């Protein structure tokens, strides 16, 4: 049985006061015992990581992730943050290959392979994002695009690092569903997740593939999440907009816990 995971991706949102207000409300509203049923990750902007990992700001067991990380440990990369630096801040997860990074920062599969390897070497857990664009879906190329994104990045990641199922999270995020209010239907999500699990089995074997958690991301809300979570290959959510509000984020966690 795969434990559900719900991760918040706050992108470039919230100032420090808003972060602390969220943490207070979230701590009050999160039902006792939630972390035993669901792994909960919050990915704020880099500048707010330390505020959230400070003692007792978040409920015990709720952990923090970075939204990106570099492929080197250190060096002349102005403006960048390395996985080792994230580790110093008690960060546990790193989002790798979000479509906004691919689109606006031209992140290639080669870079993503480096980022995945560096993340894993630092002992952090990558949440690796893949997903097709609208035009790719409309022209029947969804599976092909997923295959390319998976194999191009993962073939360069040392198998012994990535194939520990508890240390690797995959996220299916159809680009057309991110921030648009148009989520994938449960049928579309299940079909894609099943295909991704098959690709994981091809890469790392059926046993590992059966244990790796695959999150769905793309306009998740408390209204649509239960139906998506009911899909057998969906193990949680990577949530943007709906995670910015503590009450809505708690509702999503409760839905995941009820599965």
Interface residue list for ligand PEP (CB under 6 A): 9, 173, 178-179, 217-220, 238-242
| Contact predicate 191/143, CB 8 Å | no
User: Which of 98, 100, 132, 254 is an active site residue?
Assistant: 98
User: Which of 100, 132, 173, 254 is an active site residue?
Assistant: 173
Nearer to ligand PEP, 173 or 254 (CB): 173
| Contact predicate 7/44, CB 8 Å | no
DSSP annotation of 16 reads H
Q: Which residues contact 47 (CB under 8 A, 6 or more apart)?
A: 16
Angstrom CA distances, 10 to 32, 156, 172, 209, 218, stand at: 24, 29, 17, 28, 13
Nearer to ligand PEP, 64 or 163 (CB): 64
| Contact predicate 109/128, CB 8 Å | no
Residue with smallest beta-carbon separation from ligand PEP: 240
In angstroms, give the least distance from the CB of 179 to ligand PEP: 4
* Euclidean distance between CA atoms 83 and 169, whole angstroms: 16
In angstroms, give the least distance from the CB of 106 to ligand PEP: 18
Beta-strand runs (E) in the chain? 5-9, 39-43, 63-66, 93-96, 125-130, 169-172, 213-216, 236-239
Catalytic annotation present for 207: no
In angstroms, give the least distance from the CB of 200 to ligand PEP: 20
Catalytic annotation present for 193: no
Nearer to ligand PEP, 65 or 240 (CB): 240
Nearer to ligand PEP, 126 or 163 (CB): 126
In angstroms, give the least distance from the CB of 119 to ligand PEP: 17
DSSP annotation of 129 reads E
Catalytically active residues, by annotation? 98, 173
């Amino acid at each position: 049985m795969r434990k559900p995971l719900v991760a918040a991706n706050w992108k470039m949102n919230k100032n420090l006061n808003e972060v602390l207000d969220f943490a207070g409300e979230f701590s009050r509203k999160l039902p006792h015992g939630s972390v035993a049923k669901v792994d909960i990750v919050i990915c704020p902007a880099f500048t707010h990581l330390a505020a959230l990992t400070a003692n007792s700001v978040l409920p015990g067991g709720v952990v923090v992730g970075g939204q990106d990380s570099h492929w080197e440990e250190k060096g002349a990369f102005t403006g960048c943050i390395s996985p080792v630096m994230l580790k110093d801040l008690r960060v546990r997860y790193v989002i790798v290959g979000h479509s906004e990074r691919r689109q606006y920062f031209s992140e290639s599969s080669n870079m993503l392979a480096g980022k995945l390897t560096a993340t894993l070497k630092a002992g952090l857990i990558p949440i690796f994002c893949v997903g097709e664009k609208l035009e790719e879906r409309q022209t029947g190329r969804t599976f092909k695009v997923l295959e390319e994104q998976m194999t191009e990045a993962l073939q360069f990641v040392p198998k012994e690092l990535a194939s520990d199922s508890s240390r690797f999270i995959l996220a299916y995020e159809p680009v057309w569903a991110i921030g648009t209010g148009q989520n994938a239907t449960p049928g579309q999500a299940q079909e894609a997740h099943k295909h991704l699990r098959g690709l994981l089995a091809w890469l790392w074997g059926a046993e590992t593939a059966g244990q790796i958690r695959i999150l769905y991301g793309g306009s998740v809300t408390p209204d649509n999440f239960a139906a998506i979570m009911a899909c057998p290959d969906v193990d949680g959510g990577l949530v943007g907009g709906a995670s910015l509000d503590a009450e809505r984020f708690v509702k999503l966690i409760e839905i995941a816990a009820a599965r």
